[in-house]
Amino acid sequence: MNKAILFNFNVDKTNNQIQVERSFNAPVGLVWSAWTEAEILDQWWAPKPWTAQTKSMDFREGGHWLYAMVSPEGEKHWAKVDYIKIAQQQYFSALDGFCDENGSLNTSLPRNKWENNFQDKGDETIVNVLLSFDSLEDLEKVIEMGFKEGFTAGLENLDQYIESQFRLRKQNKTNNMARVSSYLNFPGNTEEAFNFYKNVFKSEFINGIQRFEEVPADPSQPPMAESVKKMVLHVELPILGGHVLMGTDAPKEFGMTVNKGNNMHINLEPESREEAKRLFDELSEGGKVEMPIQDMFWGAYYGSCQDKYGINWMINFQSK
């Protein structure tokens, strides 16, 4: 994750185009997902302190993405992306324009065509973006509106997302084989408990202990309390028969409360995102959703629930 970031931004007024070349320190699958899945786009597309909020998305040829750029005061600017051509993890093209909340285009503002090419470089991906405008006037209007500054800031948000996703993903799971584990929550003494289990089972932690202070700082959030930084974010310990015991601290500073009975979950790691969604939806039906299934900073598509019989479940999919 220490490779230098490649970034070229060129304005071609002769052909009414903007050309952007940008590298990301992650495999093409993760970068492709970040550009094509609404729940991830919402985390990085808007320059801070603005946020992106998806109203609807159907990523397919002929589909669309309808979203708003939202200011800290709640002001919304709507946009719609109409997808034209898609080649999975290689290329997609789309028409992008301003609109109202129902997706009706605002013809007084520029509309442009995006062509995004993804180059697989192993642990690095290069994205080449070509934006084409109907006229030089439209191109210059977008530049005046601050496109370069806003897009650059959004890409930096994506760097932060990728760093947190890919670093823990590489450490904790190197393949997509399904597995089941037990996940334990403690009120601040996870390290003490797991050192006890380590001695009992005469085993070693997988990739050591990750702590909350290792989470990349989010400028939009308050600083992390010093009392939390050294707490355990995640730890894994093999016990018997290939079974893995996992654990974390649940800081009261985050509004978490751990009681005997709610501090243990059956953790399922299916082989696909689709299977993760199916398991979560069916296990949570008639029960209680604790955390809706979604992409999380540690590199997983994750959700937790209590089923209708009172059993606690965690669903955790991490792509290879």
Pick from 94-98, 102-106, 128-132, 164-168: least confident: 164-168
Q: Which of 130, 136, 100 is nearest to 117 (CA)?
A: 130
The answer to whether the 7-171 and 174-317 domains have the same CATH topology is no
Chain segment 20-31, per-residue pLDDT in tens: 999 998 888 889
Architecture of domain 7-171: 2-Layer Sandwich (3.30)
Q: State the residue for tokens 């730890």.
A: 235
What is the reported pLDDT for 2?
46
Residue 252: the pLDDT is 73
Centre a 10 Å sphere on the Cβ of residue 300 and count the other Cβ atoms it contains.
Answer: 23
Query: Can you tell me whether residue 77 is helix, strand or coil?
Result: strand
243: helix, strand or coil: coil
**E-assigned strand segments in the chain:** 7-12, 17-24, 51-57, 64-70, 76-87, 91-99, 111-120, 125-133, 179-186, 209-211, 232-238, 244-249, 264-269, 288-295, 301-306, 312-317
Q: Which of 4-18, 164-178, 213-227 has the highest mean pLDDT?
A: 4-18
Q: Is the pLDDT of residue 170 over 60?
A: no
Average pLDDT, whole number, for the chain? 86
Express each pLDDT in 256-288 by its tens digit.
666 666 688 888 888 888 999 999 999 999 999
Answer for the pair 66, 55: CB distance below 8 angstroms, yes or no: yes
Q: What is the pLDDT of residue 83?
A: 97
> Taking the model in full, what pTM does it have?
0.57
SS3 content of the chain, % helix, strand, coil (to 5): 25, 35, 35
Run of H or E residues at 167: helix 147-172
Give bridge partners of residue 185 from the DSSP assignment. 248
HSE on the CB side for 113, CA within 13 Å? 12
Q: What is the CATH architecture of 174-317?
A: Roll (3.10)
> Structural domain boundaries of the chain?
7-171, 174-317
